[in-house]
Amino acid sequence: MKFSPSCVYDTYWLFASRRQALYQRRLTDADGPWTDDPILQRYRFTNVFRAADRVSQYLIANVQYRDDRPRAGAELFFRTLLFKLFNKIETWELLENRLGTLSWQSFDVQAADEVLSQAMGSGAKIYSAAYIMPAPRLGFERKHSNHLALLVRMMEDGLPGRIAAAPSLEAVYDLLLEYGGLGPFLAYQYAIDLNYSGLIDFDENDFVVAGPGALDGIAKCFEDGADLEPRSVIEHMVEAQDREFAARSLDFGGLFGRRMTLIDAQNVFCEISKYSRVAHPEVAGVSNRTRIKQSFQPASRTQPRPFFPPKWNLAVPPMEPLRPRAGVQGSLFA
């Protein structure tokens, strides 16, 4: 497939290099400044590597690998999907604080529904704003009730066992896509989340689905981007990354030696869709959005040592706890 890069194509690699450098600096510097890029200083962008983002880090470290006890496949699936249906750390911790350790064997769906209903009644937001979460139509009035019923249906259908026996990441995606309320993008995201756990172990470069933001980023990075096959474009970025960074004399050591995979390249397309609204306002893309909604607002908390799936065998160095200087607000999470 022939590609015709636009001016935004160069910015894709520049953004990836600068955003990853910012992440690395924040691991060892609680105070900053972490970047001299004015757009990164002002607006919020996710990490280059999806697994390094705050919610993914919580999922991996606290939901999937919280202790040394091996979890059965059904429990890994249940805990992962229960967390991801809401995709909000506060919601998970609320359920755990009220119901105890969350386990399929002891799960009381009515009690969980009541906890979430009470939280909503008190004005709490139980869903993350990261994804649009359509409610499956399973006969309940409230969105979260339908999502809990969806998870119960998956468990009773034996979906965890079928996913554990799936021959590929795409097959996992297809199994998830069978369930109402999960469109193509969410089904792919959940397949990646399950692949972090010990339930399945596929190469992230086996399969990818581009979300709406990534499609807009692709349209901006290539002159004929709206007409290109997204998977081929994303595969091209993964294959080309080493030479493209080198050609621009950009530093990019990856994630403790791990190269960008398809999910990460897809992720950067989504972020370049936003970044280019300021860097290249003349490039419309397909969404025609002109503003970045979320600004960067530092919070006074520091980041623990990153934790990634042990099966990745990443060489994460030991890190001392970070202590910001008095009066300095430094967030280590974007």
The tokens for 195 are 């692949």
Tell me the C-alpha distance between 220 and 50, whole Å.
Answer: 21
Chain segment 26-64, per-residue pLDDT in tens: 888 878 789 999 999 999 999 999 999 999 999 999 999
Task: Enumerate the domain spans of the chain.
Answer: 1-65+197-334, 66-196
Lowest mean pLDDT across 160-174, 202-216, 298-312 = 298-312
Q: Which amino acid is at 30?
A: A
47, 55 in Cβ contact below 8 A? no
State mean pLDDT over 131-136. Answer: 75
- With 0-12 / 13-18 / 19 or more C-beta atoms within 10 angstroms meaning exposed / middle / buried, residue 140 is middle
Chain segment 221-272, per-residue pLDDT in tens: 999 878 899 999 999 999 999 999 999 999 999 999 999 999 999 999 999 9
Sign for the CA dihedral angle at 118, 120, 123, 129 comes to: positive
The residues, any chain, with a CB within 8 Å of residue 49's CB and separated by 6 or more, are: 20, 23, 255, 258, 260, 264, 267
Is it the case that residue 308 has pLDDT exceeding 70? yes
116, 126 in Cβ contact below 8 A? yes
Q: Angle of helix 73-86 relative to helix 143-156, nearest 10 degrees?
A: 160
Sign for the CA dihedral angle at 20, 21, 26, 28 comes to: positive
Please give the model's pTM, rounded to 2 decimal places. 0.90
Q: How far is CA 149 from CA 85, 98, 113, 153, in A?
A: 11, 19, 10, 6
